[in-house]
Structure 1
Amino acid sequence: MKFSIKHEMTGRMRVHLSQNRMTYAQADILLYFLQNDKYVTCAKVYERTGDAVISYTGERSYIIQLLQGFCYEKAEVPTGLLEHSGRELNAVYQEKLIGKVLMRYVKKIVLPYPVYTAYITLSSLKYIAKGIQSLWHRKIEVAVLDATAIGVSVLRKDFGTAGSVMFLLGIGELLEEWTHKKSVDDLARTMALNVGKVWLKSDGQEVLVSVNDISAGDEVVVHMGNVIPFDGEVSEGEAMVNQASLTGESLPIRKAEGNYVYAGTVLEEGELTILVKEVGGSSRFEKIVTMIEESEKLKSSLEGKAEHLADRLVPYTLGGTALTYLLTRNTTKALSVLMVDFSCALKLAMPISVLSAIREASLYHMTVKGGKYLEAVAEADTIVFDKTGTLTKAKPSVVEVVSFDGREPDELLRIAACMEEHFPHSMAKAVVQAAEEKGLAHEEMHSKVEYIVAHGISTTINGKRAVIGSSHFVFEDEKCTIPEGKEELFENLPVEYTHLYLAIENQLAAVICIEDPLREEAEAVITSLRKAGLSKIVMMTGDSERTAHAIAERVGVDEYYSEVLPEDKAAFVEKEKAAGRKVIMIGDGINDSPALSAADVGIAISDGAEIAREIADITISADDLYQIVTLKLISDALMKKISKNYKQIVGFNTGLIALGVAGVIQPATSALLHNTSTLVISLKSMQNLLT
């Protein structure tokens, strides 16, 4: 690619691309390409000017070579990125906004007065019709108030006031529509699929391949706890599928041979072989957008109260107008009350505040599925952490494989990886990663794998039953034993590691020692959350009492529970809620899903199981636990912003009414100041809450 450097300083460069015009798609491709380079810390691409601003670490020559080697046609971008990036949406609404402002003044200056008055009169009919329609349905709402204000101004031949009111109402509607569409698109995009590889059924075997290699007509196998990657028909198997991400239904639906399944839904129990019907990602995106727009998830209770309050205030405004006229017999003073209403600002500013907060959370790599969840985070007083993958690092690692049956540790690791690669758990990923690092090929050599949530995996290898999982599963449930003469080796296993037990034919074959180090920031995050107002901080884990106690002391939680099952976590959450507490649950695994669903707010780690992310109300990235603190701060700031907006709206508009009734300001001035204040408050509501 050809380009010229317009300006640069150490670690930052602004370049101009040598092409006639940059399309929205080209800008998005270049931005994605730059943002995904390990040496680029920040990048912005401006399609109108054909410029790109790049902040980077490392050598300047590397960035120049990177740009020189870039080609739009060869760059790979995720499915749906170009169609739903939001770049074109922003450009369209910016042009609409600028065009509306310019046309307003062009009409006033260019159009002759008779033509201008006719235009205003015709434009007012739309608002008057909405008001009449509202009355027809026996509702006295904001539309009635707008229609009355505009209609009375036109009848009084005060076309300037009528034009100003309609212009500012139009600007407000445009801003609300823009903010809403952008927020919904941002939310839907973060909820979109992020599946890299799938199990392709080929010649009776399961082969792990890239999603890009799948075509319509292929058969893919989806195991328990995984997201269904494509729309298709079930050709084999039976399972319970959670479709909440598309339908909003909380209960899983039974799917069997002949049933249709949809991309993005999650397989809770069982296993399915799916005949792929559609591989495109756009249908999934559109389904999510529709679900969000039709649901009440975006509504916090404060938003709902604001909307209801806004409509309830309309009769009082109309009554105040009539009363003022009866007492003063002054039409001008009465109109000063009519031109000022609280409802417009309340209905506009509140949802914009919430949607902007959701957008701001996405800047910190957090996905919030609705305003009510931010409100719940602000009100929460109890937080429950799962240990593994949450308080501990998201990527545990295998330190040692201790053999108990005479086989080589690498052979035992290969067997374990072959079993574990089918299931989404941080410990399973650690085993598979260790095998990959050692170059251990673990092709399918077992029969059907069965996964028991929070316990382990069982299968048959070369005709022999094999199990892998927790101590409770292997020794208590499966009644496996330690080989004779290996008792001392078992007793001296290193205590600082988490242990994963592999048994073959009811005999312990290996213990895989996994390092699950505590996050460096865990203790500081717990302290920060306590300072932010959370009075009860709890840790729950399936690990032993000894391990749980050590971790709990280090991070400083108020309570901890060890050797818990999924139903224990959910029961604890329900018990706390029954006691009147607002509960946040944070987890990353399949075994955390019941508790995530039961909590007032379920927060999942992005690297965790797909089912946890789908069920959760909020998803945070796995890189930094401080995001939970940031989420709490955004939620608290949002509640303060809404309260502040309410006070400003009521205070300012009450002042305008008083000045109008006193005859200090004219109706046109009241309307202008009222609508201007609404826009100012709405624009301020779009600002980031954290600076």
Structure 2
Amino acid sequence: MKFQKLIQEHNNQITLITAILIVAGFFSKYFLGNTLGYDIFLAVASIIAAVPIMMHAYQALKVKVVSIELLVSIAVIGAFIIGEYNESAIVTFLFLFGSYLEERTLAKTRQSIKSLTEMAPTTAAVVQDDGTTEEVDVDDVDEGDIVLVKTGGSIPVDGTVVEGHGYTDESVVTGESREVGKQVKDDVFSGTMLSDGYLKIEATKVGDDTTFAKIIELVEDAQDTKSHAEKFIDRFSQYYTPAVLIIALLVFIFSRDFKLAITVLVLGCPGALVIGAPVSNVAGIGNGAKRGILVKGGEAMDTFSKIDTFVFDKTGTLTKGNTSVSAVKNYGTSLDNTFALTAKVESLSDHPLGRAIVTYAESKTYDFQELEVEDNQTIKGQGMMAQIDNHEVLAGNLKLMSSHDIKLTAQQTTDLDELQATGSSVVIIAVDGKVDLIVAISDIIRPEVAKQLQSLRDKGAKHLVMLTGDNKATADYVAQQVGIDEVHAELMPEQKVEIVKQFQQVGRSVAFVGDGINDSPSIATADIGIAMGSGTDVAIETSDVVLMQSSFEALVHAYGLAKKTVLNTKENITIAIGVVAFLLIGLIAGFIYMASGMFVHEASILVVIFNAMRLISYGKAPQVKQIPQTTPAIK
């Protein structure tokens, strides 16, 4: 065991010594005329270089795997037996040198992923009760601890700012190269850098629970998730490599040419074929990771490349989810009292429309915080109902009103139609069985959506669909603005799932793009689930692709990257098969021998690696303009 470890640690030195011995051997023969010295140098080089190769072959045989190293080992022993020391020395050197170059080039493809782990903070300055700070290991920080981060420091936890202000570089999480302003009550992520200012942060997630830790775990796991091509190659190589041994044996039996038989072993090594697909996937996943695009492995990449139908949620996906109250229709006696009751109901919800109403109430200083909630209930796809200060309050859509036998007057119906015609979302509020308020709320369409949806079409998307729980008028307005092909509105979550299944039943490959929380059933049902930017546990666990920066430019990049990665994999497989065919033809024609065959073999491995490395630089990192932006609300 110690000897094996020693050999592994000095593999590069063994390669160098082998090269020196080979050079010395050729120098001895061609410059000194010493043939004996030539044979001795090359024989020693063969033995030294064969040791690590044979060790790997033995370890593979212990787990019942016929490896490439076994083929080379048998070929080298055969060449040694017949006195072809030059062939055995050159073959073993090329194999070791090829492994060295392969390791170096593969390291480059993994560098973008490795750089993520190097950014993970290791210590944190925890604020003590007396106001002093203590430097502790990041694993010793507990939820609820207050940590201090100064300019240039790395934020060690996920948390909420409780004191200070500054600007953070969140590119490690979102892929966006811009600074984000942070102040009290703002959320921050582990692994991001504080470019300016100082922050005291209350830890809400620590250690392996932080968003950054989950990103690293996801990307590392993705490298081990095989694509369909990799799975096929694994199955193929299980039979291919033993078949080469049998073919070499048959060649010897029928030709009685021992050198020809061992040459077949060398030429039959499927190195480029075995490595072609994995290196493409690693490079593609690394490209995405550097841009805040997390793809869960080769299989997800492969499936994503075949998507022809994109299904989008509306609120928070096609729109920013930055909603605000744009109109209030009052039919009661006291607007202040009614809106206070409304705000109290909506404060119990985390829905974007509810948050807009609460924000509006706070800006108008409506007094709702002290109101007492006696009972409350959320009704899926309809809204909320609550008992507040002896009043029954309903806040929701027409379905909610109808289910409680509450009818709108002619004027209220007219007002409702007019507000919905502007594309606004509408919340109807009934107090004690009578409609008192209709509140219109406008969302902001993402300014880049129309252009990027066209880019999706250019890259192969054939059908773009919007599913929303919002009213039809609003949905139609948004669809018209951004260029959606098909709209389904006023849906409950289970209805969205059914529509996704219907698309699948007619043979479409479906990607669902949503926020990863409310739409998690649809994300899980679709062939590919894509979470836009929330970075939450649900988004990371449910979806196949996570876009940390919530950008449609990133969505287009991810779609193009998936197609390029799969194409690159096919190119590598074609190159590998082409090389094997060339070597066999060369062997039959007599212009390929053992050493030259090994050279071509090792060169083919490097070709597929370099081909895959082109994926690392695919596309440009998404550029996002500085906030704030002045984008008109839906009207």
Name 1:396's counterpart in structure 2. 323
2:598 aligned with 1:690: no
Structure 2 partner of 1:282: 208
8 A contact 1:142–1:310 mirrored in 2: no
Q: Specify whether residues 648 and 570 from structure 1 end up closer, same or farther in structure 2 by C-alpha distance, changes over 3 A only.
A: same
Distance 1:430 1:120, change over 3 A: farther
CA contact (8 A) 2:302 2:562 kept: yes
Q: Which piece of structure 1 moves more, 282-291 or 325-334?
A: 282-291
1:128 is aligned to: 54
Structure 2 Cα separation of the partners of residues 328 and 553 of structure 1: 74
Residue in 1 that maps onto 2:134: none
Hey, what's the Cα distance between the residues in 2 that align with 1:441 and 1:372? Answer: 54
Q: Does 1:350 align with 2:293?
A: no
In structure 2, what residue type is equivalent to 1:673? V
Structure 2 vs 1, CA of residues 154 and 392 (structure 1 numbering), >3 Å: closer, same or farther? Answer: farther
Q: Tell me which amino acid in the other structure corresponds to 2:89.
A: F
User: Displacement of 1:296 after TM fit?
Assistant: 9.2
Paired residues of 1:124 and 1:166 also in contact (CA < 8 A): no
Asked if the contact 1:585–1:602 (Cα under 8 Å) also holds between the matched residues in 2, the reply is yes
Q: Distance in 2 between matches of 1:136 and 1:110?
A: 32
Q: Give the Cα separation in 1 of the matches to 2:346 and 2:269.
A: 60
Give the residue type in structure 2 aligned to 1:374: M
Whole-angstrom distance in 2 between the partners of 1:294 and 1:392:
32
- The residue identity in structure 2 corresponding to 1:321 is A
Q: Which amino acid aligns with 2:242?
A: P
Cα 1:644/1:110, change in 2 over 3 Å:
closer
Partner of 1:215: 144
Alpha-carbon distance change, 400 to 292 in structure 1, aligned in 2, over 3 angstroms: same
Q: Please state whether the residue corresponding to 2:501 is helix, strand or coil.
A: helix
Instruction: For residues 126-154 of structure 1, give each alpha carbon's deviation from its aligned partner in whole angstroms, at most 9, with x where no partner exists.
Output: 44344345445554344533443455456
1:267 paired residue number: none
1:214 and 1:413 mapped to 2: Cα distance? 37
Deviation at 1:597, TM superposition (A): 0.8
Amino acid of the residue matched to residue 451 of structure 2?
A
Q: Report the counterpart of residue 89 of structure 1 in structure 2.
A: none
Q: Does 1:105 align with 2:33?
A: no
- Judged with a 3 Å threshold, the aligned counterparts in structure 2 of structure 1 residues 365 and 506 are, in CA distance, closer, same or farther, namely farther
Distance between the aligned counterparts of 1:322 and 1:358, measured in 2? 41
CA contact 2:268–2:580 (8 Å) conserved in 1 = yes
Q: Given that residues 584 and 599 in structure 1 are in contact (C-alpha distance below 8 angstroms), is that contact kept between their aligned partners in structure 2?
A: yes
The match for 1:222 is: none
C-alpha contact 1:108 1:116 (8 A) present in aligned 2: no
Q: Aligned-pair distance for 1:299?
A: 1.6
TM-score by length of 1: 0.63
> What's the counterpart of residue 383 of structure 1?
310
- The alpha-carbon deviation at position 564 of structure 1 amounts to 1.5
Would the alpha carbon gap of residues 349 and 662 (structure 1) be closer, same or farther in structure 2, given more than 3 Å must change?
Answer: same
2:115 and 2:370 mapped to 1: Cα distance?
41
Partner of 2:226: 299
- Determine the C-alpha separation between the residues in 2 that align with 1:438 and 1:100: 73
Distance in 1 between the 2:281 and 2:403 partners? Answer: 49
Aligned equivalent of 2:95: 165
TM-score, normalised with respect to structure 2: 0.68
User: 1:436-465 CA distances to partner (integer Å, 9 max, x unpaired)?
Assistant: 666778757554764444333344433544
Q: Percent identity at matched positions?
A: 23
In structure 1, the gaps of 5 or more residues are 1-96, 193-211, 218-228, 231-263, 265-275
Contact 1:333 1:663 in 2 (8 A): no
- Where do 1:80-99 residues align within 5 Å? none
Pair 291,353 (structure 1): closer, same or farther in 2 beyond 3 Å: closer
Shift of 1:385: 1.9
- The Cα shift of 1:550 comes to 3.6
The answer to whether structure 1 residue 543 and structure 2 residue 508 are counterparts is: no
Deviations 1:47-105 (A, max 9, x none): xxxxxxxxxxxxxxxxxxxxxxxxxxxxxxxxxxxxxxxxxxxxxxxxxx9x9768743
**C-alpha distance in 1 between matches for 2:79 and 2:361:** 78
Q: CA–CA distance in 1 between the matches of 2:216 and 2:77? A: 37
Is the partner of 2:614 in helix, strand or coil? coil
Q: 1:667 to 1:297 in 2, by over 3 A?
A: closer
Residue aligning to 2:35: none
Question: Structure 1 residue 322 and structure 2 residue 249: aligned?
Answer: yes
Change (3 A) 1:565 1:664: same
Q: 1:515 Cα shift?
A: 1.2
1:502-541 aligned at under 5 Å gives the runs 502-541=429-468
**1:478-497 correspondence to structure 2 within 5 Å:** 478-480=404-406, 493=419, 495-496=421-422, 497=424
Structure 2: segments with no counterpart, 5+ residues: 1-7, 26-39, 122-140, 147-157, 160-189, 191-201, 620-635
- State whether residues 15 and 49 of structure 2, in contact with CA within 8 Å, keep that contact through their aligned partners in structure 1: no
- 1:145 match: 71
The answer to whether 1:639 aligns with 2:566 is yes
State the Cα distance separating 1:423 from its structure 2 match: 4.8
Q: Name the structure 2 match of 1:681.
A: 608
CA distance in 2, matches of 1:552, 1:328: 72
Give distance in 2, aligned partners of 1:580 and 1:640.
22
Letter in 1 for 2:531: A
Partner SS for 2:299: helix
Contact 2:425 2:471 in 1 (8 A): no
Aligned length: 518
Mapped pair 1:630 → 2:541: no
For 1:174 and 1:441, how far apart are their aligned partners in 2? 66
Partner of 2:576: 649
Mapped pair 1:575 → 2:486:
no
| Deviation by residue 1:547-574 (Cα, 9 ceiling, x = unmatched) | 3334444444333222121111111111
Distance 1:180 1:608, change over 3 A: closer
- Contact between 2:116 and 2:216, CA under 8 Å: does it hold in 1? no
Q: Residue 603 of structure 1 aligns to a residue in which SS?
A: strand
Give SS of 1:339's match.
helix
Q: Equivalents in 2 of 1:294, 1:490: separation in Å?
A: 50
C-alpha contact 2:516 2:534 (8 A) present in aligned 1: no
1:386–1:587 contact (8 Å) kept in structure 2: yes
Partner letter of residue 105 of structure 1? Answer: L
Q: 1:484 to 1:682 in 2, by over 3 A?
A: closer
Cα distance in 2 for partners of 1:498, 1:592 equals 19
**1:542 offset after TM fit, Å?**
1.8
Give the Cα separation in 1 of the matches to 2:459 and 2:311: 15
Equivalent-residue separation in structure 1 for 2:540 and 2:350 (angstroms): 12
Q: Deviations over 1:569-591 (max 9, x none)?
A: 11111122222221111122644
Q: Distance in 2 between matches of 1:658 and 1:170?
A: 28
C-alpha deviation, 1:435, in angstroms: 5.2
**Relative to 1, partners in 2 of residues 1:432 and 1:387: Cα closer, same or farther, differing over 3 Å?**
same
**Which of 573, 598, 604 is 2:525 aligned to?**
598
Equivalent pair of 2:113/2:290 in contact (CA under 8 Å):
no
Displacement of 1:685: 0.3
Give 2:618's aligned amino acid.
Answer: L
Shift in Å at residue 213 of structure 1?
9.4
- Partner residue of 1:257? none
More helix by share: 2
Q: Which moved more, 1:157-166 or 1:576-585?
A: 157-166
Q: Which residue pairs with 2:178 in the alignment?
A: none
Q: Does 1:427 align with 2:357?
A: no
- The structure whose Rg is larger is 2
CA shift digits 1:244-277 (9 cap, x unpaired): xxxxxxxxxxxxxxxxxxxx9xxxxxxxxxxx99
Cα separation, 1, equivalents of 2:489 and 2:436: 26
SS across alignment from 2:94: helix
Provide the residue aligned with 1:36 in structure 2: none
Whole-Å Cα distance in 2 between the matches of residues 178 and 682 of structure 1? 10
* Structure 1: distance between partners of 2:324 and 2:63: 65
CA distance in 1 between counterparts of 2:483 and 2:222 reads: 39
C-alpha distance in 2 between matches for 1:500 and 1:120: 81
Q: Rate the CA distance shift 1:184–1:164 in 2: closer, same or farther, 3 A.
A: same
